[in-house]
Amino acid sequence: MKDLKRQNSDWRGKKETGDMEYQSDKEVRSKKRGKSSKAWIALIIVVVLAASALTAFFFNPEGLQGAYSGLIRIRNTFSFYVLGQKPHFYALLLEKNGKDYLLTPQDSFEVSYRDEFVVKEISTDVLSGSGVTVDVEGLGGKSDIGKLLKGIDLVDKTVLPDRKGAGGKKPGGYSFQIKYQDDPIASIPIRVQVTPQDWLRYARSSGNQRVQIEYLKRAIAMNREDANVRKMLASIYFNAGMTGEAITQYREILALKPDDMAALSELAKCYLKIGQYKEVIKISERVIKANPRDDAALSNMALAWSHLKNWNKAISAYHDALKIRPDNPVAIFKLGEAYEKTGQLGKAVEQYRLVLAKVPKADHVAVALADVLLKMGNFDEAIRWHKEVVKRQPKNAAAYANLGLAYGGKGLTKEEIENYKKAIELKPNDPVIHFNLGAVYEKGKRDQEAIRQYQRVLELKPDDADALERLADLYFKAKRFGEAAPLYEKVVKKSPRKAAIHGRLGFAYAEQKKPALAVENYQQAIKLGAKDPQLHRNLAQAYSQTGKTKESVAMYEKLASTKPTPEVLNILADAYMKDKHYDKAIRTYRKLIDLNPKKASTYSSIAHAYGLTGDLDRQIENYRLSLKFDPEDDEVYMSLGAAYEKKGLYAEALKAYTSAFELNPEATRAARKIPQMKIRIIQQKHK
C-alpha cells in the first residue's frame, strides 16, 4: 500500500450505466456500428498511450519498468475494448484518517477500531469507470465508493458477529471486492487489527460475567504486564465467586508491582472470603506498615481476628481503625459484636446505640441491640426494641420469636404464646420456635399442646435431642411407656452418658414387662453415677424378674446397708426366708423392729423365722409380742398354739387355739385342735 500525500490524480469516478434491455435488429446493427466506433477510439487511445510510453523511455531509460507496465496496460485495454475480454484492475485510491493511500493487487489494507476510510477512486481497463464497483466486504452496500467506512465495525464483526458472542472471522477474513458488472475481477485483503483495547471495550460493554472474563483474558494475553486489566479481571472473578482465580490475578499484579497497596487490600478481601484469616492479618500488617492510617486494612485485620476467636485483638484493631475514622458505622457495629462475644454486653449496647444514632434505619443493628438487651435480661427495653423491629420488619419471624422470649422473661405467658404463634405463621418450618412454644405449654401443664409442638419439631428436625427428650418425658408422665421408650433410645444414642435417661428408659421397659432391657438400662444409669435409691430398688426387682436372685439380693443388701427402708428390708427378709437363710432373715427383721417397734406383723415374721431355727422360746416370745400390738389376729394365735404344742405346753396351746376359734369360728383347724389339746392335758396328768 503506497502512501500518497494528497497528490492530485488523473482518475475520475464515473457513474455506472444502467442495465441493458431487449433490443430490435435495427438497434443491434446500430450497436455494432457503435462498437466499431469504440474500437477505432480504443485503437487511437492505444496508439497515444504507446507513443507516450516510448517517449518516456527515450527521455528516461531508468523508467523501463514503468514503460513495460504501461505497455501491459495498453495491451489489457486493447483486449478489453477490442477483444471483449474481462477488464483488469490496477489500483485503488483511498483516504484513511485524512491521508491518501494507493492500493495495488499486491497490497493489503490494515485497519483498527480507531480508523475511518473512504474509497475515492479505482483504476481498471474500463477507462470510463462505467460498471465498475468496489464492495468492502462486511460493510456498506454493493458499491462503497465514496462512502465513509469505520474500522470499528469490521473489528466488531471480526470479534463479535451480530454482537452475540466471541469469535467471528479471523483478522484478515475481509477484503475489497472489485467487480465489473457484478463479476469479480480483483480482491485486496483487509487485515483487521484486534488490540487489547478492543477486548477491554467488549468487556465493559458486556453484562455477562463469563464473556467479560473471556475478553479480559484475551486482553491480558496480548499485554501480560497490564496491571489495570488484571485488576478488572480479578474484580470480576471476585464478584463471580471465583475467589481462587481472583487471588491468582492479584498475585500476578503484585509480582509486577510489589508496592501496589490497592491490590494488596483487594487480596486481603479475597482471603477473608475463603477463610484464610492468617493471610489476611499478614497482608493487612504489610499495608498498615506502608500506610499506618489505612483504616480499611485495620478493619480487615480486626475481622480476621474475630473469625479466629481472638476477640481482644479484634477489639484492639477496631479501636485503632475508629481512631482514624471515628464515624465508620460498620467498624462501630463490628466492635459491638466483638464486645458481645466477650460478654461485655453493656459496651456492646453502647456501640449499637452509636450506630443507630448515625444510621437510624440500620435495621440489622436494631435487631442486634434488641437481642443483646434480651441476653442481659433487660426485658422491658428488649420488648420495646423488638416491637420497633417488627414495626420496621413486619415479616421478621425471628423478631416475633424473641419478643415472645422477652415476654416470657417477664412471666407474661399469654403474650409470649401470641408472639410465638405469629412467628410460626411467618415461618412455619422453624423447629426452634415450635420448641419454645412447646416449652411454654409444658410449663403451663398444657401437656397435649406441648406434645403436638414437640412432635412438629421432630417432623422438621428428626434428630433434635431436646425435643426427643421433652416428648419422651411427656409420654412417660402420661404412662405411655411404649411411645416413650423408642424416643429415649434415640436420646441415649445421641447422648449415651445421660444417667437419668437410662433410668427412665429402664423403668419404661419394666412397665412393658421387658425386664432384661430394664436391667440393662438400670445398670447403665448406675454406672454413669445415678444415686437415686429407687433406681437400685428397681434394678433389684428387675433382677428378680429375670431370675437373677443372687444379683437381686446383693442389690437389696446394698440398699439396706446404705439407706434401709421397711420396703427394702421386707423384700430382703423375704428373699432370705425363701433361700432358707434364717439367721440373715432374723437380723433383717430385727432392723425392721428397730424402725417400727409396734408393728405386729414384723414380730410374727421373726417368730416364724425363730421357729424354723428350732428356737421355740423366742418364737413364742415374738408371737406374744405380735399379739400385744394386734390381739385380733387369729392366724398368730394359731401359730402361737402350734409353738406351745411343740414345746409340750398343752394348756397354753389350748388357750391359743381357743382364742383363734373365738376370733374366727370358721377356723376348722383351731376347732380340731381344741379337743386334741384337752385330751393331751388329761394324758399329761395321768402319766
Q: What length does the chain have? A: 687
| Mean pLDDT confidence for 321-327 | 95
pLDDT at 151: 84
Question: Which residues are within 8 A (CB) of 664 and not within 5 positions of it... i.e. 6 or more apart?
Answer: 634, 670
The residue with cell 427394702 is: 568
What are the CA-CA distances from residue 306 to residues 278, 309, 318, 340, 416 (Å)?
A: 11, 5, 10, 12, 34
Calculate the average pLDDT of the chain. Answer: 86
At residue 155, the pLDDT reads: 82
User: What is the C-alpha separation between 575 and 585, in angstroms, rounded?
Assistant: 8
**CA-based R_g, the chain, Å:** 56
Q: Say whether pLDDT at 556 is over 90.
A: no
* Residues with Cβ within 8 Å of residue 229, at least 6 apart in sequence: 196, 200, 216, 219, 220, 223
Q: Alpha-carbon distance 626 to 631, whole Å? A: 8
Give the 3-state secondary structure percentages of the chain, helix then strand then coil, rounded to 5.
Answer: 65, 10, 25
What pLDDT, in 10s, does the model give residues 465-506? Answer: 999 999 999 999 999 999 999 999 999 999 899 999 999 999
Q: What is the pLDDT of residues 155-199, one digit of tens each?
A: 888 777 544 444 445 555 788 899 998 899 999 998 888 777 777
Which range has the worst mean pLDDT, 97-101, 139-143, 155-159? 139-143
Give the containing element (helix H, strand E) for 434: helix 431-443
Q: Percentage of residues in the chain with pLDDT exceeding 70?
A: 88
Residue 31: predicted pLDDT: 43
Q: pLDDT tens, 371-423? A: 999 999 999 999 999 999 999 999 999 999 999 999 999 999 999 999 999 99
pLDDT of residue 35: 47
DSSP 123: E
Work out the pLDDT band at 564, boundaries 50, 70, 90. confident
The candidate with the shortest Cα–Cα distance to 657, out of 642, 648, 649, 646, is 642
Contacts of residues 353-362 at CB distance under 8 Å and 24 or more positions apart, as own/partner, are: 355/329, 358/327, 358/329, 358/332, 359/329, 362/329, 362/333
So what's the pLDDT on residue 146?
Answer: 87
**560 compared with 491, residue with greater pLDDT:** 491
pLDDT digits (tens, 9 = 90+) for 526-537: 999 988 888 888
Give the chain's domains with CATH numbers: 11-194 (no CATH), 267-359 (1.25.40.10), 633-687 (1.25.40.10)
- The highest-confidence range among 61-70, 303-312, 539-548, by mean pLDDT, is 303-312
Q: What's the pLDDT score for residue 136?
A: 87
Q: Is the pLDDT of residue 99 over 50?
A: yes
564 touches 572 (CB < 8 A):
no
User: 29: pLDDT confidence band, cut at 50, 70 and 90?
Assistant: very low
Given a cut of 70, whether residue 33 has pLDDT beyond it is no
Q: Which secondary-structure segment (H or E) carries 570? A: helix 566-578
Per-residue pLDDT at 82 exceeds 50: yes
53/314: higher pLDDT: 314
* Burial class of residue 140 (count of CB atoms within 10 Å of its CB; 0-12, 13-18, 19+): middle
Give the whole-angstrom CA distance, residue 292 versus residue 152.
Answer: 47
Please determine, for residue 208, whether its predicted confidence score (pLDDT) is greater than 70.
yes
Say what the pLDDT of residue 77 is. 82
Report pLDDT for 67: 60
Q: Say which residue, 100 or 46, is predicted with more confidence.
A: 100
- Beta-ladder partners of 123: 91
Mean pLDDT in residue range 231-238: 89
| Confidence band for 47, pLDDT divided at 50, 70 and 90 | low
Cα–Cα dist 403/419, whole Å: 7
Contact between 146 and 133 under an 8 Å Cβ cutoff? The reply is: no
Torsion of CA 265, 269, 274, 280, to 10 degrees: 50
Residue 12's pLDDT is 35
Q: With 70 as the cut, is the pLDDT of residue 130 above it?
A: yes
Distance of alpha carbon 121 from alpha carbon 103, whole angstroms: 11
